[in-house]
Amino acid sequence: MKDDGVGVHAIRSLSARKFPANIKLEIIDGGLEPDLAVIVDEGVDKLIIIDAVRANSPAGCIHRLTIDSVENSGYETRSAHYLNMKQSLALMRIAGTLPKEIIVIGIEPKDMSMGMELSPEITEKLPAVVEMVVGEITRN
């Protein structure tokens, strides 16, 4: 889907950057309902999830969510076939494998139709999403 692919585009932009070696970091695309309990390595210090997030804001509005706000909010995924983010986090908490810090960087989508390109509104905000992720990585 178009704007649902924002995580893929942001991660592609981040791939050439160097980050501190002293932190075990994972950055993942939240699209396609990833099973966090399976794909996130044990012992991760910081997990950053980049995704399109519907929060009834104008298209392009960037949201920063913590694990508490995800677990205690109406943030839901729609797949009937995969674990949603809340279920994955609950399993990780039970298993004792929850990363020390989990941040979701979300952007309000404009166009969720099929396609590979982001809408102009989201393309314009992509650099701000990337810089927000960089800020989260370098923040202590």
pLDDT tens per residue across span 63-88: 998 877 766 665 554 433 345 777 77
Please answer whether residues 50 and 27 qualify as being in contact, where contact means their C-beta atoms are separated by less than 8 angstroms.
Answer: yes
- Confidence (pTM): 0.85
**What's the rounded Cα separation, in Å, for the pair 40 and 32?**
15
Evaluate if residue 42 carries a pLDDT over 50.
yes
Q: What is the pLDDT of residue 82?
A: 46
Evaluate if residue 47 carries a pLDDT over 80.
yes
Query: Of all residues in the chain, what percent carry a pLDDT higher than 70?
Result: 83
What would the pLDDT profile of 83-128 be if each residue is shown by its tens digit?
577 777 788 888 888 888 989 899 999 988 888 899 999 999 999 9
Amino acid at 96: G
Q: What is the pLDDT of residue 43?
A: 84
Domain that holds residue 82: 3-138
Contacts of 28 by beta carbon, 8 Å cutoff, 6+ apart: 7, 11, 34, 36, 39, 40, 47, 48, 49, 50
**What's the rounded Cα separation, in Å, for the pair 65 and 49?**
10
> For 134, phi and psi rounded to 5 degrees?
-60, -40
Q: What is the pLDDT of residue 66?
A: 86
CATH code for the domain in which residue 113 is found: 3.40.50.1450
Amino acid at 41: D
What total of structural domains would you count in the chain?
1
